[in-house]
Every structure is written in C-alpha cells, then in structure tokens.
Amino acid sequence: MKRGNVRAGVRWRAAIVAAAAYAAAGWLLADEGAQAGAPATDPVRRGEYIVKGMGCGDCHTPYKMGANGPEPDLTRMLSGHPEGMKLPPAPPPSGPWMASVAATMTAWAGPWGVSYTANLTPDPETGLGRWTEQQFVDTLRSGRHLGRGREILPPMPWPAIRNMTDEDLKAIFAYLRTIPAVTNRVPDPLPPADATK
C-alpha cells in the first residue's frame, strides 16, 4: 500500500472510532439535564443548550464513580482529563477491538496513540482563557489546534461539529466563557508507538 493509502486508512478508521465512541458515550452515560426549547437569541443560553445537547461533557467532563454508577464530576465540569491521573499503558488492540477508554472517559487509546480531552474552561493558563472567538471557530472548522497547528485527534468529533454555523460555534464559545474556570493542565497526546508501553 502506498503511504497515502495507509494514511487515508488510518483517517477512515479514526472517523469510525470517533463516530462510534461519540454514540457510545451518549448511550452509556447519564445525561446532564435537558433544557426546554432551543434558545435562539441569547448566545450564552444557546451555547449551553448546544453543549449539553451535543454531549461535549461526555468526554470533556471527567466521570467518577457515584452511588448509582459513573456520573460526571461537576466540580471539574468541562475541564478535560485530570492532570493528576497517571494511567498505565493502554491495552494493545486485539482483533476487531481497536480502541479503549479510561473510566473517566477523558483518555482514549487507539491507532492514533493516546488522546486526552482538553480543558474547555476559561482558565487562562490551562484552559481556553486566552483563546479568541475566531481561534475557537477556526479550530472546530479546520480540525487543527487554533486553526493552523497540529491535527486534532479522535475521538474529538470535529468532523461533525465543523458543519455547524458560525453563529452556533460562537454561541458555544460564549457559553464556555461563563463556566467556572478550573486549573487543570491536560497532558500532551502520546504517539502510537508510546501508547501501549
């Protein structure tokens, strides 16, 4: 196979994993509370509606074990993979089982290596506090960090999110500006060669 084909194959598989993981996350885990109607005018309320409806928190809010099973740790809402949580090597892929996820739902291993969900809170040092609205929109449209950096890894569903209007992406950003800032430095992703050792 040519290099390009291999790359395309990895991308294709990654897209499937992202879609499956996204669906599984919504199905497996408790919802964060439904809102009545779809607010259209106030960007912050609309952003909250979109973030909750699209389940950003299923991956970006760490899950903890509660009395009735896993539940989102709302003291760390949307703050990404907890920095203090060190993980052992991921299990190697076996047969059709291609990816694995930590119990927090914030660390994902697969053909892309290991990815850790980002801190979306307004903390200036470790979250999106210094991002501009334009950088946020460019990131989700291009699938690249700040619109021009490294490619964003699965299972971040940017290939789906990129289809939203500018207005909706800006509303998401407006809402994320209003949530409590959590200082949490998410680790850099691991390349495939380092994922299982």
109 scored as a contact of ligand HEC (CB under 6 A): no
Measured CA to CA in angstroms, residue 135 lies from 27, 40, 194 at distances of 31, 23, 30
The first and second tokens of residue 15, run together, are 């897209």
Site pattern 132..171 for ligand HEC (x: CB under 6 A): -------x-----x------xx-xxx---x----------
DSSP reduced 3-state for 190: strand
Residue 111: CB minimum distance to ligand HEC, A = 14
The CB-of-16 to ligand HEC minimum distance in angstroms stands at 13
Distance CA 30, CA 20 (A): 17
Closest distance to ligand HEC from the beta carbon of 193 (Å): 17
29 binds ligand HEC (CB under 6 A): no
Secondary element (H or E) of residue 89: none
Per CB under 6 A, the segment of 9-17, 69-77, 90-98, 112-120 that binds ligand HEC is 112-120
Interface residues for ligand HEC in 46-85 (CB under 6 A)? 51, 54-56, 58-60
Identify whether the C-beta of residue 126 lies closer than 8 Å to the C-beta of residue 134. Answer: no
Structure tokens at 8: 């395309």
